[in-house]
Structures are given as structure tokens and as C-alpha cells.
Amino acid sequence: MSNSPTEYRFSFGPWNIHEGADPFGPPVRESYSFDEKVDFYRDLGFLGIQFHDDDVVPDIDEKTHAQLISRAKSVKTQIDNHGLTAEVIAPRLWESSLTIDGAFTSNSAKERQYALERSKRCVDIANVLECKNFVLWLAREGTYIRETKSSSDAVGQLLDAINALLDYDPEIRILIEPKPNEPMDIAYIPTIGHAIGLAYASADSDRVGGLIESAHAILAGLEPSDEMGYALYHNKLWSVHLNDQNGLKFDQDKAFGSANLRRAFNQVRVLEENGYGRNGEYIGLDVKVMRTQPRDISTKHLLSSRRTFLNLLEKVRTLDRKVEQEFIAARDYEGLDFYILEHLLGK
């Protein structure tokens, strides 16, 4: 590993610029078109796009294979023209009428088949975009009530799907994005430990890893930086969705660091200290702007999350490790606690 500091690259998904609808109210801002969103990336300081399959090919289920490839090619040209890269692509397996009961773990064989076919089409798009990172957020793989499915069979169904995708494309890498709940009551792959278990059980464990979203770890009652450390040790942290979360409630996707700056500091620290980004990994964000924000300033959450990462990176790099070690050696953790607080406050 070289000693020069990591130059971090940032990504977000088009869905992070949105219309402000929530479960209790309609959109409050007019949409930006896909083309307008692509225009925003570089001005906001971002080089990578996180895609869903249908961000690239709208109405994907109605498209022939030829139409799908042709649309993907035009998006590839468009992002090339902006000097942008497709960081990841994910099949949006949670909106179809065929995934109401789950995708790979639906009780219906026909629906499980749909999920696999849709995922293969997503891999085809990935190839056109020259993107090797296939994200699986297993949104509806879980239950509303325990009695409807077998949690043990579900593991096998998920592995069968992962293995089929590894087999379909010898180069694709699968990044499992765990989340403990929402939309399901309880999800089958709630943490990175579960995801990495699946990775090792798969047919090609070197091609299965994880993506950790801060808010998802917090929703599981876990410390995001420790979850990241766990995956980093296994060389399986291939992307992150940095954001923040104020307690155990619905997935808030708040701006990075906005609820707990120290928790954010420790995430930046664990990434920096373990060489994250040196193999091309992006600092991905998955943040929602507040519903109150007027349309023409509805991208500020992206700007501020990126700035917060960079500000905290400076804090990580300027922390006096010798002082820290002295506190640790003396077992003066109260002293260290206050030292970190003063450092974060710029004292």
C-alpha cells in the first residue's frame, strides 16, 4: 500500500435527488429528469453513479433484450461524456407485482424465477456500463409474520440465486447490502455478518462481498464503524452508503454526520485506517433531502454529506496519535473521551 493519502471518490444514486413524498404525503417538488440529474454530478463533486436497473432502462419489464441493450448503450455514452462512472448497479426487485411476497424467497416458484431473470437482465446492463459491482439490497426477503416462510430454506434460496448470478457472468461481483427491517418486519440478511456468511457459502466467495449503509447498521442497534471494521478485515467492504439515523425508527437516510458527528468520525476513521478506497472503492452516499427543502436547493444534502466526510477526514488525519496512545496506556479513557470531543470541536 502506498503512503500517499487516499484520494477519495464519491458516488450517489439518482434516487437521492427526489420529490419529497413520504408514506403520509405526496411529492412536494417537481422531479428532475434523469438527464438533469446526470448534469448535476460533477458540479456537486461526484464521479460515480449508483444505478438501479430501471434508472438505466425505465419500464425494464416491458422492454425486449435489444431495447434494453440499446438504451443501456446510450446511457453509457451519456455518462462517458460527463466523465462519470457507473459505480454499482442493483436490480430493483421490490416494486413489481411479482415480488409482493419477496423476490428470491417468494413462496411462488414463478415469482422466484422472475427475480432471477430480472437480475440477469441487470447483469446485462452492468456489462454495457462496464460495471462489475452488482448490488443486492434484499428489500423484500423476509417476513411480515414468522409463520409464512422457512428462514432456513430462505438461506438456500438466496444462495441459489447468488450462485446462479455468479455462474451467469464470470466477472460480476455481488455486493450484499444488509438491512434489518423496512419494508419487511424482519429481514433475512439483517447485518454484514449475515451477508459475509452467505459470501463464504457461495460458489465463488471471492466475488461476493458487502455494502454497508450507516443507517441500516444503526437500525440493527449496531455501531456502523464496527460493522465496517468487520467487513474490512474480511476484505469484503466493497462499497458504503454513508448517511445518518436518529434512533430506531423508519430509515431516515439523513445527511452524513447530521445526527451523530462522532459516530460519523469513527466511520471515516475506520475506512481511512484500513485502506478503503485504495482498490477503487467509492465513498457512496445514500441520503434523502428534507421534505421541506425547495426544489432549486434540493441537492444540498449531497454537498454537505461530502463536505462532512472531508472535514472529518481532516480530523482523522490530524488526531494526535501519540496523545491518544498515552491516554490508552494510562487507561485514562475519560481523558481520551474528552480529548476526542475537544478535537472534534476544534479546541
Q: What percent of the chain is helix, strand and coil (3-state, nearest 5)?
A: 50, 15, 40
Confirm or reject binding of residue 286 to Mg ion (CB under 5 A). Answer: yes
CB of 54 to Mg ion, least distance (A): 16
Give the one residue of 53, 244, 251, 281 binding ligand GLO; rule: CB under 6 A: 251
Residue type, 152: S
Q: Which does 244 bind (CB under 5 to 8 A by kind): Mg ion, ligand GLO, none?
A: none
Q: Are 180 and 219 in contact (CB under 8 A)?
A: yes
Closest distance of CB 177 from Mg ion, Å: 6
Length of the chain, in residues: 347
What does the DSSP 8-state code read for residue 345? T
Which CB atom, from 239 or from 339, has the smaller least distance to ligand GLO? 239
Q: Does 116 bind ligand GLO (CB under 6 A)?
A: no
| Residue 281 lies near ligand GLO (rule: CB under 6 A) | no
Binding-residue total with ligand GLO (CB under 6 A):
9
Give the C-alpha separation, 239 to 213, whole Å: 9
Assigned C-alpha cell, 297: 436547493
C-alpha cell at 194: 449475515
Q: Could you tell which of Mg ion, ligand GLO, none binds residue 141, using a CB distance below 5 to 8 A set by kind?
A: none
179's contact among Mg ion, ligand GLO, none, with CB below 5 to 8 A by partner kind, is ligand GLO
Other CB atoms closer than 10 Å to residue 274's CB: what's the count? 16
| Residue 179 found at the interface with ligand GLO (CB under 6 A) | yes
First to last CA, the chain: 33
Q: How far apart are CA 346 and CA 337, in angstroms?
A: 14
Q: Which three cell numbers stand for residue 280?
A: 477503487
Q: Is 232 left (phi over 0), alpha (psi -120 to 50) or beta?
A: alpha
Where in 10-83 does DSSP place strands (E)?
Answer: 10-12, 48-52
| Positions 151 through 170 that interact with ligand GLO (CB under 6 A) | none
Shortest Cβ 187–Mg ion spacing (Å): 13
Q: Is 90 in the site for ligand GLO (CB under 6 A)?
A: yes
Q: How far is CA 142 from the centre of its chain?
A: 19
Q: Name the residue nearer to ligand GLO (CB basis): 301 or 339.
A: 301
3-state SS, residue 176: strand
Of the pair 141, 213, the CB lying nearest Mg ion is at 213
Which of 32, 104, 137, 282 contacts ligand GLO by CB under 6 A? 137
Kind and range of the H or E run holding 241: strand 237-241
Task: Provide, rounded to whole angstroms, the least separation between the CB of residue 212 and ligand GLO.
Answer: 10
* Amino acid symbol at 250: F
Q: How far is the CB of 253 from ligand GLO (least distance, A)?
A: 7
Judged by beta carbon distances under 5 to 8 A according to partner kind, the member of ligand GLO, Mg ion, none in contact with residue 46 is: none
Residue selected from 132, 149, 173, 241 as contacting Mg ion according to rule CB under 5 A:
241
Out of 54, 213, 244, 281, the only residue in the binding site for ligand GLO (CB under 6 A) is 213
Of the residues 60, 79, 135, 268, which one makes contact with ligand GLO according to CB under 6 A: 135
Nearer to ligand GLO, 14 or 339 (CB): 14
CA dihedral 270, 275, 279, 283 (to 10 degrees): 30
Residue 213 lies near Mg ion (rule: CB under 5 A): yes
Distances from the Cα of 311 to the Cα of 236, 256, 257, 267, angstroms: 26, 11, 11, 13
Q: How far is the CB of 277 from Mg ion (least distance, A)?
A: 18
Q: Which residues bind ligand GLO (CB under 6 A)?
A: 90, 135, 137, 177, 179, 213, 241, 251, 286
Q: Which residues bind Mg ion (CB under 5 A)?
A: 213, 241, 286
